[in-house]
Each structure stands twice: as structure tokens, then as C-alpha cells.
Amino acid sequence: MKALVCVKRVIDYNVKPRVKADGTGVDLANVKMSMNPFDEIAVEEAIRLKEKGVVTEIVAVSVGPQKAQETLRTALAMGADRAILVLCETEVEPLAVAKIVKAIADEEQPGLIITGKQAIDDDANQVGQMVAALLGRPQGTFANEIAIEGDSVVVKREIDGGLETVKLTLPAIVTADLRLNEPRYASLPNIMKAKSKPLANKTPEDYGVDMAPRLKTIRVTEPPVRSAGIKVADVDALVAKLKEMGVA
């Protein structure tokens, strides 16, 4: 079974984003960029399934700027077999990305598509569900644990009240939550090897997908700032404050 993993190049999760002064977006100039953490978990899961002999080939896909090549090389260094970069220098929307992934899935016929549950830049949490809809296939979102059983995948999902388990007929789409696994670091030899793994460069036109955004960003602003309050000296002072607030 072939696995398709979708990865996005985003701001590194340790960097505090700054809104541009002109209100057009978040300043990404000279900011450290990395693979979306949830997508890293998706790549790791595909690799573990390959190590178990369930998956035979892993194809990593990214829709993004030329520099997303680095993100794909990271996926290749972790253990993906080949990569496809669909070049788009402007900001991408989940619906357009999903259409491209759908078109690639039509060509590649993967048994499993794994991606992160959300990207930490636009926080949309949409691509996996949209790919599933466009392919007419089942979805296991927010996966905490997955197991392939014959022609199905059993997905334990993180939901608001706890955990839920669903069984999906393959091919299926799974979106990774935080505790699905802990991604590995690529070793130096594997980073070197990744440089010679195949990486195909494509464009949205190759897949007949219109990338024109449906949402227009009118402005981007800083959220209301909370200012630091006071420090109390001891528990008695805290209790007094709580009483003032009517909490205790």
C-alpha cells in the first residue's frame, strides 16, 4: 500500500509571530521556518507503517513556495521515498490544496493519506476533511492511534470528551493529532541520502486547479494585549484577592 503524506512549510513553532505594521499579514521575512509540527507527526506515522511492512512507499506532497523543497527534503530525510512540490508562491487556501491533493491521489492511488490536523499558521483545520470529501472517502480526524486491519484502518480520535474509535474502509484519510507519535530526527547520513531522492516539481496548472483565493484578507491586527497584573506576596494575599472577586 502506498501512503501519501501532505506537509506544509510554516513559521517555526518556537517563533512568536509579529503582525506587519501595515496590517497586511504576519511578518515572515528572516523568520525561521519549519515543517508544520502536525505534518511531522503524519510523516512519522507513515514511516512507522512502512517499518511494520504495511506501507510500501511513502510520497510526500507540499503545496507552497520554492523553499518548501526544504520541508520536503526533511520528510525525505525522515524516511519518505519521494516527493512532489506543487509550486505556489502566494498564500494557499485549504480548499485549493485539497483539490491538488485529490488530483495527486487520483494519479498515485494511495491506500492511505495522512496529514496534520491543522497548520499552525492559518489554524484552519480543513485540508484532510476536504480531501476526504473530494475523494468521496472516509476520514479519521485528530488521530491519537491508528492500526491497519485488513482493508480497513481503525482510528482512535481525540475528541472534546475524551477518545472515540472509528473504523474506516481503505482508502482513507487520517489527520494527525499531537499524541499519535513522537517524530524522529533525521540522522546526518539520511539527510545526505535525502538529497538524491526524487523530488518532482509541479504547478497547480498541471492538476488543473485554480488557486485564486476565495477569502480576501481585509486586514490583520494584533490581538488585544493583556497587560501583566500584580504579584502578591503570599497565599493570604491571594486568598484576599479571591474573596474580593467573590470566588472564595
Partner 1 sequence: MSKTLVWVEHDNASVKDATLAVVTAALQIGEVTALVAGSGCDAAAAAAAQIAGVSKVLKADDAAYANALAENVAPLVAGLMADYDVFAAPATTTGKNIAPRVAALLDVMQVSDILSVEGPKTFTRPIYAGNAIATVESSDAKLVVTVRGTAFAKAEATGGSAAVEAIGVHADSGMSSFIGSEIAKSERPELTSAKIIVSGGRALKDAATFQDVIIPLADKLGAGVGASRAAVDAGYVPNDYQVGQTGKIVAPEVYIAVGISGAIQHLAGMKDSKTIIAINKDEDAPIFQVADIGLVGDLFTLVPELTGKL
Please give the Cα distance from 139 to 118 (Å, whole number): 14
User: What 3-state DSSP class applies to 165?
Assistant: strand
200 vs 240, which CB is nearer to partner 1? 240
User: What 3-state DSSP class applies to 55?
Assistant: coil
159 vs 200, which CB is nearer to partner 1? 159
Residue 232 Cβ vs partner 1, minimum distance, rounded to whole Å: 5
Residue 39 Cβ vs partner 1, minimum distance, rounded to whole Å: 13
197 vs 241, which CB is nearer to partner 1? 241
Peptide bond just before 65 cis, omega within 30 deg: no
- Rounded to the nearest 5 degrees, what angle is found at the Cα of 127, between the Cα atoms of 124 and 129? 105
Residue 154 Cβ vs partner 1, minimum distance, rounded to whole Å: 7
22 vs 160, which CB is nearer to partner 1? 160
Residue 98 Cβ vs partner 1, minimum distance, rounded to whole Å: 6
49 vs 96, which CB is nearer to partner 1? 96
28 vs 191, which CB is nearer to partner 1? 28
User: What 3-state DSSP class applies to 140?
Assistant: strand
Residue 149 Cβ vs partner 1, minimum distance, rounded to whole Å: 11
Residue 185 Cβ vs partner 1, minimum distance, rounded to whole Å: 17
Q: DSSP labels for 17-44?
A: P-B-TTSSSB--TT--EEE-HHHHHHHH
Please give the Cα distance from 2 to 56 (Å, whole number): 6
Cell of 184: 524522529
- φ and ψ at 57, to 5 degrees? -145, 140
Kindly give the interhelix angle for 37-51 and 68-78, rounded to the nearest 10 degrees.
30
